[in-house]
Chains A and B, each alone.
Chain A
């Protein structure tokens, strides 16, 4: 089974766009800020090359292609979840106390969503075709849930995400929301082409959002304000107070 010319052209365009985003990410030195996202982009580009090679060798309809495709989808889901964690960390980690508070909250949230997904998937027949839609939907919802929880933390503490981080997060969230919806609709619509088209279009839109994120140069890195230790304060405060008093005495003498 081979793909239509339109599908092949779309595949090629998507791969080119992925490569362009990766080049942009390297140009903007995004690896210093969001390394996992850059790894995700790199894996995406490498996957396109490998998938095309596999398509040429075994064809689109073969079992090997199916297993490889879904394995890589699993890897991408994991990487996207890690990117969400990285985004939350990049926004909140400059505020040490808040990040320490957010970490266990996000972990707990992830566990709750995972348990909900496993409970809802109970009773699903143990075959690939039945397991993939609810599994993928559940995992995408975990990603969206974690992203929203992390961003709610930021909003509560009035922490603003940099523009490029916001666009990257929106791309990830948008793709996950559409994927979850798509997988929810699949059993009702039972239309594989529509399901695949929605999935591809949502990813294309997400990529456009990432291009927007990386189009302009990134703002300079703002290093977090590190507070001195208690000992340092105890040592410095008397010195500063003494110097201020000395200055005050001198000024008073000048006025006399």
Chain B
């Protein structure tokens, strides 16, 4: 039994090694060129106020009084679809932001370990929360706190990276101002 466990473990380690060396890397988006990295900043999280509204009880109560059961069922189905699309959008935003952060790290001659660890932690947290929220959505529950936390995570990371980018690009015109 122990021999089998050790053998399976070693095969798994070998598989990890092969994947790390030859596994496909995520293809970078072709539409984002080096000078257009601001395209990677989040866009979907800006629609959270609308999403928050459809998660509220008012619309459902209103429709429950006025519309037929069939229409209400259809409306719930479409709401769930909208939420799912919003979640996918958030995941895309977060993915773009982490790509941007890595791009900046690659260019940086000095990295702060705490900052990198923070990003790794945020990535793990986001993915766990994302899966849990998707599960809740599949179970026909309305995950407002989770959605707002996910949106907050994307917005915060986006804000921090935008600040960093502005700080980096601000140097060029400042330097120009000295001479003229």
Q: Is the CB of B20 within 8 A of A155?
A: yes
Q: Is the CB of A233 within 8 A of B21?
A: no
| Binding stretch for chain B, among A29-37, A44-52, A167-175 | A167-175
Interface check A4, CB cutoff 8 A: no
**Chain B residues with Cβ under 8 A from A161's Cβ?**
21
Say how far A186's CB is from chain B's closest CB, in angstroms: 11
Say how far B109's CB is from chain A's closest CB, in angstroms: 5
**Chain A residues with Cβ under 8 A from B179's Cβ?**
238-239, 241-242
Q: Is the CB of A158 within 8 A of B16?
A: no
Of the candidates B21, B99, B111, the one whose C-beta lies within 8 Å of that of A98 is B111
Of the candidates A101, A169, A181, the one whose C-beta lies within 8 Å of that of B7 is A181
Interface check B139, CB cutoff 8 A: no
Which residue of the partner chain B has the closest CB to A168? B21
Q: Is the CB of B109 within 8 A of A238?
A: no
Assembled-state Cα–Cα distance A12/B177 (Å) = 73
Interface residues of B (CB under 8 A from A): 2-3, 6-7, 10, 13-14, 16-18, 20-23, 25-26, 99, 102, 105-111, 113, 116, 120, 171-173, 175-176, 178-180
Say how far A26's CB is from chain B's closest CB, in angstroms: 25
**Chain A residues with Cβ under 8 A from B108's Cβ?**
97
User: Can you list the 7 inter-chain pairs with the closest CB atoms, starting with the nearest?
Assistant: A241-B176, A237-B175, A238-B179, A151-B20, A97-B111, A97-B108, A166-B21
Assembled-state Cα–Cα distance A171/B136 (Å) = 45
Interface check A147, CB cutoff 8 A: yes
Interface check A245, CB cutoff 8 A: yes
Which residue of the partner chain B has the closest CB to A237? B175
Assembled-state Cα–Cα distance A97/B112 (Å) = 9
Which residue of the partner chain A has the closest CB to B2? A188
Q: A173-B14, A177-B14 are in contact. Are A101 and B113 (CB under 8 A)?
A: yes
What are 30 A-B pairs with beta-carbon distances under 8 A? A96-B110, A97-B106, A97-B107, A97-B111, A98-B105, A101-B113, A101-B116, A147-B17, A148-B16, A151-B17, A151-B20, A151-B21, A157-B102, A158-B25, A158-B106, A159-B106, A161-B21, A166-B22, A170-B18, A173-B14, A174-B14, A174-B17, A180-B10, A181-B6, A184-B6, A238-B178, A239-B179, A241-B173, A241-B179, A242-B176
**Chain A residues with Cβ under 8 A from B3's Cβ?**
185, 188
Assembled-state Cα–Cα distance A233/B176 (Å) = 11
Q: Is the CB of A160 within 8 A of B7?
A: no
**Chain B residues with Cβ under 8 A from A239's Cβ?**
179
Interface check A144, CB cutoff 8 A: yes
Q: Is the CB of B17 within 8 A of A233?
A: no
**Chain A residues with Cβ under 8 A from B173's Cβ?**
241
Interface check A152, CB cutoff 8 A: yes
Q: Is the CB of B111 within 8 A of A101?
A: yes
Interface check A17, CB cutoff 8 A: no
Say how far B93's CB is from chain A's closest CB, in angstroms: 18
Q: A97-B108, A188-B3 are in contact. Are A237 and B172 (CB under 8 A)?
A: yes
